[in-house]
Amino acid sequence: MSGQDGGVDLPFLRANPHLLPTFLAHQRLRTTPVAGGSISVAERIVLDDGTHLFLKTWPGGVSAAPTADPAPAPSGLFAAEAEGLRWLREAGGVAVPQVYARTDDLLLMQWVDHAEPTVAAAERFGAGLAVTHRAGAPTFGASADGFLAGLPLDNTPGDDWPTWYREHRILPYLKLAVDAGALDPADATRIESIHIEAPAEPPARIHGDLWPGNILWGPSDTPWLIDPAAHGGHPETDLSTLYLFGGTPHLDRIIAAYNEIHPLAPDWKSRIPLHQLHLWLAHAVLFGRSYRTAVLDAAANYH
């Protein structure tokens, strides 16, 4: 609970997350903006007892410095992220920050200091990711829909990965990209005709949006998973998206460590563009036609 001097501590915030916006608005908490994702406002909070926390809010919503005419977060956004973090943390593989409080407008979680990515951390990440994946999932998809960078994520359960990936990852974002003018109707026809296949695997417990920016490299050679779009998926998907935007540091050591625990198919790298396609489509929806070439290149070899 809060102290007699009016201080705010972690047990009090965990029990009363609904009061956090009031504390922020009245500057009862010390906050510092930090680099966040493309869709959220990120702040570092320091409590009176010296505890550091990480706060995520929706732009224009609850924050220490809200913008004019605030818009609410998409319904269920932070609930889905909190559940994804909990589910991944439960696997006992790669470290995942603990969630302390969640409302419809914010997510409050463990603060992790940043450090340089080392070879030892990369190997630890690869081995941990294999453990996370092998924790498994009941089906491809999930029991509830989620979000991918603020876009709706169709997690309708399925048993056949190629069919599921086409229907619930490729086609929904393809339609949105065409509707947004990022792709042409002729582009959609080409992408709809791609051949999707991969070695049969039971549903893995995957992060779902594992581009390099969603690994937080912490002290003591400890990597952390953040900003998940968690669901049951194909393990090659997480590994493939690690190659986006120049690739994760020490990626060869990550793959080698992963492969020691969960051996990959010899030809798995030939499917990297296929597994990246849904994220390129999401980028086209969010950021426009500049991603058209990336989408078409990713689909080019699967006709």
Contact 192, 281 (CB under 8 A): no
Which of 57, 79, 110 is the C-terminal boundary of a domain? 110
Distance CA 182, CA 184 (A): 7
Separation of first and last alpha carbons in the chain: 61
User: How far is the C-alpha of 271 from the C-alpha of 291, rounded, in Å?
Assistant: 20
Each residue's pLDDT tens digit, 19-50: 877 777 655 677 787 775 556 788 898 888 88
**End position of a domain, from candidates 110, 136, 168:** 110
User: 42, 61 in Cβ contact below 8 A?
Assistant: no
Contact 274, 243 (CB under 8 A): no
Regarding whether 279 and 144 lie in a shared domain, the answer is yes
For 190, phi and psi rounded to 5 degrees?
A: -65, -45
User: CA-to-CA distance for 10 and 101, rounded, in angstroms?
Assistant: 10
C-alpha pair distances (Å), 40 with each of 75, 183, 265: 14, 26, 37
The reply to whether 21 and 105 lie within a common domain is: yes
Which pair of structure tokens corresponds to residue 191? 């992408």
**Residue with the two structure tokens 């102290």:** 3
Domain, as residue range, for 198:
119-299
- Taking Cα atoms as reference points, which of 126, 140, 275, 280 lies closest to residue 201? 140
pLDDT digits (tens, 9 = 90+) for 45-94: 888 888 899 999 887 655 544 455 556 788 999 999 999 999 999 999 99
CA-nearest of 223, 205, 270, 261 to 243 is 270
Residue ranges with strand state E in the chain:
30-33, 41-46, 52-57, 99-102, 106-110, 146-148, 151-153, 204-206, 215-218, 222-225, 231-233
pLDDT of residue 64: 46
Domain boundary among 110, 134, 155: 110
Say if 24 falls within a structural domain: yes
Residue-level pLDDT at 61 = 56
4 domain-assigned: no
Co-location of 55 and 123 in the same domain = no
Query: Rounded to whole angstroms, how far apart are CA atoms 131 and 92?
Result: 7
**Same domain assignment for residues 273 and 158:** yes
Are residues 41 and 56 in contact, defined by beta-carbon separation less than 8 angstroms? Answer: yes
**What six digits make up the tokens of 199?**
């070695």
Are 265 and 125 contained in the same domain?
yes
Span 211-230, pLDDT tens digits: 999 999 999 999 999 999 99
Shared domain check, 165 and 265: yes
CA 251 to chain centre: 18
The number of domains in the chain is 2
pLDDT of residue 33: 76
144 shares its domain with 264: yes
Determine, yes or no, domain membership for 167: yes
Using a pLDDT cut of 70, give the percent of the chain over it: 91
Mean pLDDT of 132-142: 98
- What are the b/e assignments for 231-253, b being 16+ CB within 10 Å? bbbbbbbbbbbbbbeeebbbbeb
232-262 residue pLDDT tens: 999 999 999 999 999 999 999 999 999 999 9
CATH number at residue 27: 3.30.200.20
Q: What pTM was computed for the model?
A: 0.91
Higher pLDDT, 24 or 185: 185
